[in-house]
A and B are shown apart, each in its own frame.
Chain A
Amino acid sequence: MTESSDITRDYDLYLGCVAPNRYPMIEASTVQVFKKLGINLHDMKGASCCPAPGVFRSFDIPTWRAIASRNITIAEQDRRDIAVMCNGCFGTLLEANHLMNSHPDQRTETNAILEKVGRQFEGTVKVRHIIDILYNDVGPKAISDMVIQPLRGVKAAVHYGCHLLKPSETRPWGKDENPTFFDDIVEASGAESIDYKDKFMCCGAGGGVRAAIKDVSMDFTREKLSNMKDAGVDIIVDCCPFCHLQFDLGQVEVKAMFGEEYRFPVIYISQLLGLAMGISPYDLGLIATKDKPPGTPPFIPTEPFVKKVVEGM
């Protein structure tokens, strides 16, 4: 790997809810891949729900901001920037950090609450999505240099998700309706990113829609799946545990609700890169071990994908 020395090599890893509590393979694979890249992800002890931007922010903005700021203060105490694996958590922590930094009145208000738990928001850390670190610090070139098992012949439908990109004024990529940075990372693994209709459309999980109005939420997913099918992809690659859940469990739900069957393995970016870098597919959660309890994800088996890669070699 081409070591670029000027990048930050220690982060607090913010886990969120879905990754550690439902899709721990995302957590496991991210830690391993980053370790390989020479970046240490430290535990962020006592972090809570971010809380979700489309849900809790929708109910009560001051509560949302206070809990988010509390999470940020943990990293501030650790004196480390925050690495985030989830678009929703990214949205919440980034936006809250931005609001607290740029609006003194909101900061004063929230700090008065944090004081009750012995905390103060100082505004000393950055919030970064792992895609941001992978693209802007590590770079696709360095990633591809580390690939020992190129995922040649794999056709990936890249799903960016919404909060990675928008609102663009606070995102590191600026305003661009057709970005390619995530595709570049995916392609660094040797896989091919396939263009499909409405690629940048929402998966349907966010904003509390999945919880409250399930059929509408699943109809988003169905449309995306159908567009992916039309484009002839093999797998879905994402960078958000909630999108991940929506596509994985969602394929089961779409079948139940609409009678349409799709069987795309859903791969989180660090699982994809980990495989290409030669990390064991068992460790990445791509092949289920015998200890995997029944009724837990992935609901669409990822083994066929691993098999294809290994056979393709």
Chain B
Amino acid sequence: MVLIKEQIKKIDKSIVEEVVEDELLERFKSCYQCGTCTGGCPSGRRAAIRTRDVIRQALVGLDDDLLSSDLLWLCSTCYTCYERCPRDVPTTDIIIKLRNIASHRGLMKGPHLAVSKMLIETGHGVPINDEKWSNLRKSLKLTPLPPTVHSFPEAVKEVQTIIKELKFDELIAYGEEVKKKLAEEEKKRAPERIEELEAELKQLKEEAGK
């Protein structure tokens, strides 16, 4: 049983400050919760994201719930909401900023960590990692490797230097660590929770028996 009391949260403006560090995002404080964003959101029509609610949660600082949930990652960055917001709130950019904040807390999704590692290793998010792709290129009379980083090892180095300078590699490594830790905790917590539930059930039964 979840006690209502656990849901009562204090309003915390710190995340608002973090978002509006980028002055371009400041307008988000003027959101009047009209729901135009959610109403046209193709993701919200099939999944749990409510764009307006994401903005709202960020505005009142319910960051823990928001940042660790899937919600932020359900946005396809289609910018439909962004175009229509009557208050000129840069909705999609806010979601992207919130994802940055989540990422810096180590809350990235597994596949995203994987694709980031590709970028770090090869300079491509989607690299040629199998001979069949080169062969496909050849079948179209193209060079086996495109004239991108794939053909210029020193260019890969450049990309890697930039990544190191900005500590993006550390961010990814940190994300993986957090991911592992969370999984372990989950595993550890699960039996406890079951015990708890059983105890609750027992107590309820006893009460009912009285």
Contacts and interface: CB of A to CB of B under 8 A. Distances in A.
A285 B140 contact: yes
A56 interface: yes
Contacts of B128: 21
Given A46-B149, A51-B119, A211-B115, A59 B76 contact: no
Chain A interface mostly: loop
Contacts of B90: 167
Interface stretch (A121-129, A137-145, A288-296): A288-296
A117 B47 contact: no
B142 A113 contact: no
B115 to A, nearest CB: 6
Interface in A156-203: 162-163, 165-168, 175, 177, 198, 200-202
A306 interface: no
Contacts of B43: 209, 216, 220
B187 interface: no
Given A46-B155, A67-B162, A117-B161, A292 B109 contact: no
Interface string A70-82: 1000000000000
A116 B162 contact: yes
Interface centre among B42, B123, B147 (most CB of A within 10 A): B42
B126 A18 contact: yes
A220 B73 contact: no
A63 B163 contact: yes
A85 B115 CA distance: 21
B41 to A, nearest CB: 9
B209 interface: no
A283 B141 contact: yes
Interface stretch (A24-32, A146-154, A230-238): A24-32
Contacts of B151: 45-46
Contacts of A261: none
Nearest to B97: A61
**Size bracket of the A interface:** 35 or more
B111 A212 contact: yes
A22 interface: yes
Interface centre among B80, B128, B137, B146 (most CB of A within 10 A): B146
Contacts of B75: 54, 207, 209
Contacts of B126: 17-18, 21-22, 49
A208 B124 CA distance: 15
B77 A53 contact: yes
B142 A162 contact: no
Contacts, number: 231
**Size bracket of the B interface:** 35 or more
A309 interface: no
Given A63-B162, A66-B166, A216-B46, A58 B96 contact: yes
A289 B137 CA distance: 12
Interface of A: 15, 17-18, 20-22, 24-25, 27-28, 43-49, 51-63, 66-67, 70, 113-114, 116-117, 119, 162-163, 165-168, 175, 177, 198, 200-202, 204-209, 211-213, 216-217, 219-220, 223, 283, 285, 288-289, 291-297
Q: Which 8 A-B pairs have the closest CB atoms?
A: A46-B155, A166-B79, A20-B146, A202-B78, A207-B77, A291-B139, A54-B77, A58-B99
28 contacts: A20-B146, A21-B146, A22-B126, A22-B133, A27-B146, A28-B142, A44-B148, A46-B147, A48-B123, A48-B155, A54-B76, A60-B103, A67-B163, A113-B162, A113-B165, A166-B80, A175-B83, A206-B76, A207-B77, A213-B109, A217-B76, A220-B76, A285-B140, A291-B135, A293-B131, A294-B132, A296-B132, A296-B133
